[in-house]
Structure formats: C-alpha cells, structure tokens
Amino acid sequence: MLMLANYLVRVLNTSMSVAYGSELVGIATPTCAGKTSLLEELKLRMPASVATLPFDEYDLYPTGSELMERELAEPRITNWKDPALFDMPQFIHDAATIARGYRVTLQTRSRESLEGGEQSRLFVPRRINILEGVFVLLDPDIRALMDLRFYIDIPPDVMVERRLATLRPGVSGNPWDDPEYIKGSMVEGTRKYVLPQREYADVVLDGTKPTTELATQVIGHLS
C-alpha cells in the first residue's frame, strides 16, 4: 500500500511539476565526491530556484547527543556508513510532504546545523527541491517520489585520498576520522550501501570533473 501511495504522490507531483514548475530531485554521493561544491555552484547559478534537504539532518548520532556520547564511551558501531544510523522513516515522511508541495519543519542534526546553533529549520519548497546525501536513492519509496535522480561517482581510492586530505591531526577524536577506519571500514560500507545506488540514478556524474562542468550538466537535465 505504501508503494502504491507513493506512486500516486509521484504522479501527482509530476503533474504539479508541469503546472507549477516544481521538481523533486535526488543527488546521492559517496563521501568527498564533491556534492557540497556542486550544491554551492547550483545555488550560485540558480539562487531563487533551489532548496536543498540534506540527508545528514536525519543523523541519529549527532555530535553531543546522548546516543553519540554513549557510543563514544562504549563503542559498538563498527561502520559509520550504515543507513541504520539515520532516521529513514522520518526522511521518507518529509520527502513525501515536500513532494506534495508542503513545508516541513526539520529537526536539524547535521554537523553544519549544529555548529551554526540550529536545532530546527523550516524547509520551504521551491521550483527545484534537492534531496542530497549518501543514502537518498536507497529506499524505493523515496525514489518513487523523485522527478530526477543523480549519482556522483568517484573511484574508492580517490574517495580515500580526498577524505584523508580533510583530516586535521589532533583536532577530532571522532571514530570516523581515524585513518585506518577511512581506508578500511569506510570503503567497505561505501561499497555495500552507497555504490549500489548508481543503478537507480537517471544520470551518473563523474565526480573527478570540475564542479562547474557538473553543475552545467545538472542544470541541463533540470531544464
């Protein structure tokens, strides 16, 4: 029944897209594939047209949370690239709400939101509404809502090289910042959960190419 309901929402959303020019777009990506730079470029070129919903806002283990403090005290998680660590049901609910053209109040949990002092934020749909993050194409109910699906592809060795380059020695004690974890479990989790999403994408982007080129490709498909 849920699949059928979301299919009907997709049909309704598609008809609304034709009538009002509104689209629901997914961009899935491995770590360090250039998603953030791409989104910044899209916002720069289309400032009044794009709204983004980061999947990281659905993190169940945000920094400073009780769950995260408990995990740091007694480590049990072996791979931080696991969709079970995110509130997927709430993400599906919010995406379906946005697909119907309604606003959503987000309980913000991403690193960027927490560093900015945000605890909640109102998401107001625009002409192009981008769902972005590592697992946004993973669930079939989410995919059924989307008008267009992108996947940014990079080789695992490039991902590791870029991720290691972002580390600041001695600054973070987070388990996902450990070089051995990055070269081992992060790659394993990416291959198991993230890379398979390529087959669900309408368009696969080459994450080794310049951001401006990727943005031009995305805008061309959106147009």
Topology, domain 2-222: Rossmann fold (3.40.50)
Would you kindly state where each structural domain of the chain is located, as residue ranges?
A: 2-222
Report the pLDDT value the prediction gives residue 199, as an integer from 0 to 100: 97
Report the pLDDT value the prediction gives residue 129, as an integer from 0 to 100: 96
Q: What angle do CA 30, 183, 201 make, to 5 degrees?
A: 15
Residues pairing with 25 in the sheet: 130, 148
Q: Residue by residue, what is the 3-state secondary structure of the chain?
A: CHHHHHHHHHHHHHHHHHHHCCEEEEEECCCCCCHHHHHHHHHHHCCCCEEEEEHHHHECCCCCCHHHHHHHHCCCCCCCCCHHHECHHHHHHHHHHHHCCCCEEEECCCHHHHHCCCCEEEECCCCEEEEEECCCCCCHHHHHHCCEEEEEECCHHHHHHHHHHCCCCCCCCCHHHCHHHHHCHHHHHHHHHHHHHHHHCCEEEECCCCHHHHHHHHHHHHC
* CA dist., res. 216 & res. 210, Å (int): 10
* CA dist., res. 186 & res. 81, Å (int): 6
pTM of structure:
0.86
Report the pLDDT value the prediction gives residue 86, as an integer from 0 to 100: 96
Whether the Cβ atoms of residue 67 and residue 197 lie closer than 8 Å to each other: no
Tens-level pLDDT at each residue, the chain (223 residues): 444 444 433 433 443 343 344 799 999 999 999 999 999 999 999 988 999 999 999 999 988 888 889 998 898 999 999 999 999 999 999 999 999 999 999 988 887 777 777 788 899 999 999 999 999 999 999 999 999 999 999 999 999 999 999 987 655 678 889 999 999 999 999 999 999 999 999 999 999 999 999 999 999 998 7
Report the pLDDT value the prediction gives residue 171, as an integer from 0 to 100: 58
